Structure 1
């Protein structure tokens, strides 16, 4: 495997036009990102990241780009690549690469070899901080560049799948530097995972297929924060929602919230749409494909392209063809057509027209990322190797910035209330 990859500008025919279009997208998004705007003013003035090199593997599109520029304008050298081969916007990547403190290696549509070669190119900058979405960069650093770990202050992880992988790595004693589980903060889970995933996934599927949600049987695989958002938004568009779940308390929660709960083997027979949100593999497999109706839509809103087992589906198919831009039809020997959107990759970012979560939502998640990077720079030596919760005061600060920008005021605890809540001595 190649261990180096050229910056995006060397892969484009008209770099200047791409940069101009990417900048236009970034400027539009930033208008709706008051948290990053406020932090940018602060960080530009204080340069808290001077002397730091930040390596990033993220979805390289307009909203992410505004986080990247914030870090660079705050004094860091930033090297970035994609965390999904189909989520990069080349024009945005080119706009980033034009910044004097940023090197972008993200290119849309790369194969596995070039995907990892680009990660190697980022790591070659010898980052002192890593920012990941899915943990691929952290894995590469530990397995192939362990000599860098001594100079890495820490890292941040954006998404559920990455946090799961990091916690497993931590439990095995293999994680050698501190990483903040940004995904697990209230400001991420309550807004990005629920509202962002729900809105962007359903909107992308509807635009890609030009089909309605009304009256369709929509199977949501997994009832974590992302699954809850998808179920809620689908029900709000008059779909009949069926939830599949392996965790009994979440299954009970879905049942108590009015959704039909079934095993996937039964749900697949009813499904018009199946949308996976688990972060796990083999959620939809051969036994389910064999039971599905003609015309079913299959999409993934989890992370990697392993939730819908495409190898099983390909084995069953007698033909496969592009039914629509971003939709591949797999024809069964009985004539049924099972339609996979965005190659089973993260649908709200990998479909041809996908734009990811709304800007207002990502402003909150990336605000948490930005304050966590600063916490690592300022206080990194206070954190041992392992996965760490984001300090609550940082998460609350991001919420306060957003409320101020929205003109929303709220109550605060009095001193007496605060003392009461912190005491065990008060009785009836």
Structure 2
């Protein structure tokens, strides 16, 4: 079995980590039991480009239980947990191509490795698999019947491809499911981003000014948790509705050129490029800490930061100090990559339980309906979304009401008024 990981000897530790995460993923565990009985993915090759974490490992095991032939590579050079990668190879017989800290060329060689196995389903986190398939490996496209996409950034890229009629097969936008973005993006990113910053810096949030660039679901989660820890939160936005919402939620809202002057911590979560750029670096405080929790490090204009600096020093793991020519110091965390995965462990298993339930059921949905689906970005049917939520409530021991026949009739009628 081909693979490329750091060290097989890490497998035992990885297995314990995977088991620990699995305890908090009851929805995915239930799906795995169902898959083991029905084998909806029997004989299907699945190429997954995801963060190689303990939670992802439980998804891979679920897909394998459903009969899939799974291959996994990393969706970010710094997000791999090497012991988890080792366990999947040694204990589960799943080919993994991922090493924490891999360079640019290795990263793309790993993506190529899983694609050259001629998958029928792609499972993406940022659309790098799809991008390579549609550019360098077009000859493999006839083998693919569909795919899934986990992130906001990836969905943006895929929708652009679909608009230009370039997308060659249907892709389920897992990120657009309510049981994904309302929970994973808000609660998962909110908690894990601050966790990553604290692990990297050991700095105090209370009394500090935290600038959150972007007020989507990820930005909302980060702002809320930073505020809860005593920080003064500033939000920057380009959408007037989101800007207004942030103001109504109690945060200061201003352009980045103004926020750059007052921030102690800067966190980008927009999915766009150069959100923090040259003009911002020129006015930041001495000691400002800059990081990203969006999918790609392009949100921070790192080349501009390097040009403005006279010296760069690694002060701690995942902390690079750039000394500006005027003597100010700016700290870049995790090379500008996803800080929650670079220096921490990513989202808690409780929220990934729902996200990966969407991935698993999304793959099953593709197998059942691929021939009828358009070559476009599609959303999992709402009834599947609601089923995931219902399973999660059951696992948490929470009950909710159901409509009475009278209530159902009222909601479906137009005759009954006041």
TM-score, structure 2 as length reference: 0.97
| 2:154 match | 162
Q: What displacement does 1:45 show?
A: 1.8
Q: 1:6: Cα distance to partner?
A: 5.7
More moved, 66-75 vs 417-426: 417-426
Q: CA deviation at 1:269?
A: 0.2
1:37 deviation in Å? 1.2
Q: How far off is 1:312 after superposition?
A: 0.5
1:8 corresponds to which of 4, 29, 46: 4
Q: CA deviation at 1:420?
A: 3.1
Give, in angstroms, the shift of residue 34 of structure 1: 0.6
Q: How many angstroms does 1:330 deviate by? A: 0.2
Structure 1 counterpart of 2:397, from 399, 402, 407: 407
Identify the residue that residue 30 of structure 1 maps to in structure 2: 22
**Does 2:103 correspond to 1:107?**
no
CA contact (8 A) 1:8 1:94 kept: no
Number of the residue aligned with 1:236 = 228
Mapping for residues 172-183 of structure 1, pairs under 5 Å = 172-183=164-175
Unaligned segments of structure 2, at least 5 residues:
none
Say how many residue pairs are matched: 418
- Alignment correspondent of 1:276: 268
Q: 1:388 aligns with which of 358, 362, 378?
A: 378
Q: Tell whether 2:210 aligns with 1:214.
A: no
1:5-404 superposed matches below 5 A: 7-9=3-5, 11-12=6-7, 15=8, 17-99=9-91, 102-351=94-343, 354-404=344-394
* Mapped partners of 1:149, 1:423: distance in 2: 48
- CA 183–143 in structure 1, closer or farther in 2 if over 3 Å, else same: same
Counterparts of 1:144 and 1:320, CA distance in 2: 35
Output the CA distance in 1 between the equivalents of 2:93 and 2:40: 14
Paired residues of 2:11 and 2:91 also in contact (CA < 8 A): no
* TM-score, reference length from structure 1: 0.95
How far has the Cα of 1:114 moved from its partner?
1.2
Cα RMSD of the aligned pairs, angstroms, is: 1.4
Instruction: Tell me the distance in 1 between the aligned counterparts of 2:294 and 2:51.
Output: 14
Residues 99 and 75 of structure 1: is their aligned pair in 2 closer, same or farther, counting only changes over 3 Å?
farther
Whether 2:405 is the aligned partner of 1:421: answer no
CA deviations on 1:162-202 (whole Å, 9 max, x unpaired) are 00000111111111111111001110111100010010001
Q: Is this contact kept in 2: 1:327–1:340, CA < 8 A?
A: yes
Q: State the Cα deviation string for residues 109-142 of structure 1 (Å, max 9, x = none).
A: 1111111111111001111111000000011112
Are the aligned partners of 2:2 and 2:95 in contact in 1 as well (CA < 8 Å)?
no
